[in-house]
Every structure is written in C-alpha cells, then in structure tokens.
Amino acid sequence: MSRRSHTVAVVAFDAVQLLDVTGPVEVFTTANRYGADYDVRVVSPTGADVVTSSGLTVGVSGSLSSLPRRIGTLLVPGRRDWRAAVGDTDLVDTVTHLAGRAERVTSVCAGAFVLAATGLLDGRRAATHWELARELAVAFPGVRVEREPVFVRDGHVVTSAGVTAGIDLALSLVEEDWGADVARDVARQLVVFMARPGGQAQFSARLAPGQPRHSAVRRVMDHVGADPSAEHTLDSLAAVAGVSARHLGRLFRTEIGMSPGQYVESMRMEAAQVLLEKGGDTVEEVAQQAGFGSSESLRRAFQHTLGVSPTTYRARFQSTAGSRRVVAA
C-alpha cells in the first residue's frame, strides 16, 4: 500500500462526459478525508477550461506543464462521440505523452478508445461501455475487448465500463493504494457499493451480435426470437436452417461466436429479463414463459450470466420505488 503522495492526472477535453471526470475525482478526494494522500489535478491539452457533454464548464488545474515529472495515475475519461475524440491529435498526443510518465494508466467508458488510439491497449484486455464494446473491437482489432466486467486490469493499465463504473474503478485503486478500510469508508460516505454486484450484462437488454451474413443463421435467429420458450433442439434448428447440425454449429460459432444452444439460452434470458422488468408474474411463472422450465433453472442461468438472482434483478430494474423510504406526513 502507498504511504506517499500520489498524483492523479485527469485529462479533460471538450464534450467529455461530466461524470467520467467528477465520479473518480470525488472518490480520490473523499479518500483524502480518511487518510489517503492524493494530489488530484484536472488538466486539458490546451490548459483551458472545458465544456462537458452536459454543457457544464469544468475548470482545470492547468496544462501538462503544471504536472510533476512522474504521475501516479493517469485517468482518461470518455466522450460519447469517440471518433471525434480519437481524431483529436492534440488529445491523443497528450495522453501518449502522459502515459509514458505514469505508473498506472486508466480510462473510463469511451476513454478506452483514446488509449487504444495511442497503441497502449494493443494485445491487452480492455473494457468499455457495453454499447461500445463491439465498436472498440472493430475499430481496434488488436485490443482484446471484454464485454462483461465493470473494469479490467492488464498490467499497469486499467479500463472501466460506462460512466458510473469510473467510481468502481477509482474505489479499487484506493483499496490498492491505501487499503480496504479506506476504500470502504469512501464507499459508505458516497453511498455506493464497495464492489458492484454483477457485471455489465445486467444493464444491457441484449448483448447479442449484429446481423449475421449467412441466411441459415438468420433464419434460425428469427425462428428462436419468435418463440424463445419453444423446444429448440440442435436437430430442429438445423431443419429450420436447411443444413446439418454440425454445419449449423460451425456457422453459429463463426458468425456470432456462440453455439446454437447458447444463442437459445441468451434469447430466453432476454425474454426473462423483459418479463421481470415489466410484469408481476412469479419467478416460477417467468421461468415457464421464457422457456427455462423451472425457477431453479432460471436462477442458475441468472447467477451464471448476470451474477444476481431473478428476484434481485427485478428489484433493481423494475422500479426505483424499492429504494425509497416513504415517511408518512
């Protein structure tokens, strides 16, 4: 654990997502109240204040020249229009330069695209917002994109998922630097999870791949999507596709990266999620309607895929009412 002052350099730029910046900054500065010693500097490539995605202006500490020679942690937030961010040569050059001076390099949400543009993520595992994971993988094929984790560490580089995941990332860094007790105090103060239960899959309605090229795969996907609860065997799906079962398996793995059986379960998971979010049926009834057969099978699938039970998922995503305390007048 660190027992010395640790400089955190946050690179801000126009149209940056506000919470990508302020969430981690709040974690680090709150940690100072509990014994940490972070010197947090928000800088911009030009040294000028920046206008964030929400229209609010963020004041910066200065330009690169205001930073010490060695940086403890470099944090790169994201911009929703990641193409504009990676096309900003001043920004990419700034991050490239600072990364060479940092003991640890991190990103929040679409900040991973900027790190990828510097080449720092080549050959590394990385995370970003679940909606952007496919775009990151296509734009930077040298990056091993992981869709599920809230944050991913690969060597001295740590990348996180979307927006509020920057808080999870910062808490993990506080724990690494100053211990679990300090991180726990910060989490309590900010009223957030010390470790968020489940991964990104619980926040995405569908992580399924895009439109496949092969017509046989499209036919099977349409067939399963029309009724996920039906009895879909490999042989019956092969009959729908008009190919052999073995060939269908090869096509699915090539086109969408999973077996036909895994695709069926993913569609049943999606159906169950929708039923839990929008209806009042029991878990057993949801399991039957979605094609899982029993509530126990549904629970196992939810725990394996989302890291939470169906009941917890419903409470978390059906309504905000469950988190409110109602005080009678």
Active site residues: 109
Rounded Cα distance between 132 and 161, Å, is 9
Both tokens of residue 167?
């808080």
Both tokens of residue 234?
């490999």
Rounded Cα distance between 287 and 269, Å, is 10
Q: 72, 95, 99, 102: which is closest to 13 by C-alpha?
A: 95
Residue 137, number of CB atoms within 10 A of its CB: 17
The strand pair at 50-51 and 125-126 is best described as unpaired
Rounded Cα distance between 169 and 189, Å, is 16
60 backbone dihedrals φ, ψ, rounded to 5°: -110, 160
Tell the residue number behind the tokens 């009895």, with chain if given: 231
Give 212's Cβ-side CA count (13 Å radius): 21
Residue 141, number of CB atoms within 10 A of its CB: 10
Both tokens of residue 48?
């000028």
- Cα–chain-centroid distance for residue 318? 21
Q: How far apart, in Å, do the first and last CA atoms of the chain sit?
A: 49
Rounded to 10 deg, the angle between the 283-290 and 310-317 helix axes is: 100
> 314 has which bridge partners?
none
